[in-house]
Structure 1
Amino acid sequence: MSQKISTVAFIGLGVMGYPMAGHLARAGLDVRVYNRTPAKAEAWAGEHGGSHHATPCEAASGADLILVCVGNDDDVREVTTGENGALSGMAEGSLLVDHTTASADLAEELDAACRERGIGFVDAPVSGGQQGAENGALTIMCGGDDADFACIEPLLGHYGRAVTLMGPAGSGQLTKMVNQICIAGLVQGLAEGLHFAEQAGLDRQRVVDVISKGAAGSWQMENRHGTMIADEYEHGFAVDWMRKDLGICLEQARRLQARLPVTALVDQFYADVQVMGGGRWDTSSLLRRLRAVKPD
């Protein structure tokens, strides 16, 4: 793709997509949006301008760049290659970017489908959560062709503070799997640390104030310790979505013969949280699970 990008379509206006599309509109791009729930698309257009459309195909028609941010592999297929999907409305020379956290297999599948139509493709999952999306401070891990990446990098910079090409199609998704594997262990470690401090009668806030300045510090500690101490989890990245992501990681690990014992264990801990009714709680709710477990 060589022409200047002026018109973009954004498909999927959830807690991430809604603010991401807003950054593009504020940057002066003509933004066309589609959402499975039409009222959300209408609200977005009312707030940011641009236009809302009845199908992904309609939203993609006439757009130079189509960005997708939905739930899982099947959702991506539905809005891209399905009936009235975006690809049926995209012109040769346009470009598709998938921000959904999905499988590497799907990225390779979409890359092949796009190539058949003369369309560029980049898988570009993000990290940073709703807060990062709203603040334009996401980390974006990309897989695709060098030329396609060079074309979209400046636009992704409107909501990404770090936009990096990791390799060919699928590499962005594989990198996001590494991200989720690392987060799983970090959140469980933080939950155990705060639980231990509570049981020991320590001032947990003071503990965090001290240890966050050293080697134990992390994004999770900085951004989640307060709500964990307050036992508040009605926010952030849902346990249901984390289990979806970890399922992708564990399946890919089986293929690669990579051993992920801690990831598999934390995945089961999140299953416990779901049984507790916490499917929509933030991933830091692992601490509530520890509080609920009866000692032997």
Structure 2
Amino acid sequence: MTFQPETVGFIGIGLMGRPMALRLLAADARLVVWGRTPGKLRDVLAAGAEFAEAPAAVAQRASVVITCVSDTAAVEAVVFGPCGVAEGGSAGKVLVDMSTIQPRRSRELAEQLRAQTGMGWVDAPVSGGPSAAAAGTLAVMAGGDPADFERVEPVLRHLAGGLTLMGPPGAGQTTKMVNQVIVGGCKSVIAEAIQLAMNAGLDARRLPEALAGGRADSVLLRQSIPKMVSGDFSPAGRLRTVLKDLDLVMELAGETGTPMPMTGLATQLHRMMITHGHADSDSTAVIALLRDRPLL
């Protein structure tokens, strides 16, 4: 698949944004970038991206603008803050928000941007981590107007192994909340299983082989075991990010009247890790709570 002759904007060159931006450049996209930390732009600028002075300048020069930032407040700032996307946006353009933010707020921001500028909005949060971002195999769950989704689909196909329009604006973010319920809860349970295996004298590194094809087998299990066993908690997905997402899940649970006792426990386990200084550790570090000599 090749790009249409249009410019793509990218705002948020971080742990996930950097490999996504580099994939777009490798596919010969004309890419205009902006980030709050100029040093993080070095690789993508060296690969051929063009620098923009502000989010508004990105929106002026690009027809599709991707945002991939830390949280709801950051999205609001880059879109509606001073020199934000809204100042450079216009009808016929589409913003694709690949951040993970509140579903309700995502819907409201989409309505606000269209009312102010005529610009469309597709919420398209992702799952898979930096390695999947680099390989172009992310799971991308989208919400938005079907015409806006069709407009940005050729761009997103370069980043996604799976791309699904789940419904109107906000539906992608709601789907990401469901994803995070499973990820956050399962990692906590996987940590217990691995620690039990090690305490009982098993070589836990062989669990993927032993469980392959059975009902306990999963990508999450296979990815978690090496880091949990080795104690290498260099971040592929930071604990503070997972906690931010789980807090959003619990907020949505309150709004929808959904009991979520298991997710509530997983949320507090992640909060405990962060209070002990592990905010920037990988989310697999939750196993440290279970060790005889915890890394706290």
Structure 1 unaligned segments of length 5 or more: list them. none
Q: 1:59-98: per-residue Cα shift (whole Å, max 9, x none)?
A: 2212111000000011001100111001111222111110
What is the correspondence of 1:30-179 to structure 2 with a 5 Å cutoff? 30-46=30-46, 48-116=47-115, 117-179=117-179
User: Aligned with 1:259: secondary structure?
Assistant: coil
Distance 1:26 1:265, change over 3 A: same
Name segments (4+ residues, structure 1) moved above 6 Å: none
Q: 1:144-169: per-residue Cα shift (whole Å, max 9, x none)?
A: 01111111112101011101100000
Q: CA deviation at 1:263?
A: 0.6
Asked if the contact 1:5/1:65 (under 8 Å) is kept, the reply is no
Equivalent-residue separation in structure 1 for 2:206 and 2:26 (angstroms):
41
Asked if the contact 2:32/2:61 (under 8 Å) is kept, the reply is no
Q: CA deviation at 1:293?
A: 7.5
Equivalent-residue separation in structure 2 for 1:270 and 1:243 (angstroms):
6
Asked if the contact 2:235/2:283 (under 8 Å) is kept, the reply is no
User: Aligned with 1:140: secondary structure?
Assistant: strand
Q: 1:40-70: per-residue Cα shift (whole Å, max 9, x none)?
A: 2244211x21211221111221211100000
The aligned amino acid for 2:75 is V
Distance 1:205 1:41, change over 3 A: closer
Q: CA deviation at 1:127?
A: 0.4
The aligned amino acid for 2:195 is H
Q: CA deviation at 1:128?
A: 0.5
User: Aligned with 1:61: secondary structure?
Assistant: helix
What is the correspondence of 1:281-292 to structure 2 with a 5 Å cutoff? 281-292=281-292
What is the correspondence of 1:226-245 to structure 2 with a 5 Å cutoff? 226-245=226-245
TM-score by length of 1: 0.94
Count of residues paired in the alignment: 290
Aligned residues: CA RMSD: 1.4
Asked if the contact 1:144/1:165 (under 8 Å) is kept, the reply is yes
Equivalent-residue separation in structure 2 for 1:5 and 1:77 (angstroms):
29
Distance 1:247 1:71, change over 3 A: same
Equivalent-residue separation in structure 1 for 2:222 and 2:211 (angstroms):
11
User: Aligned with 1:236: secondary structure?
Assistant: coil
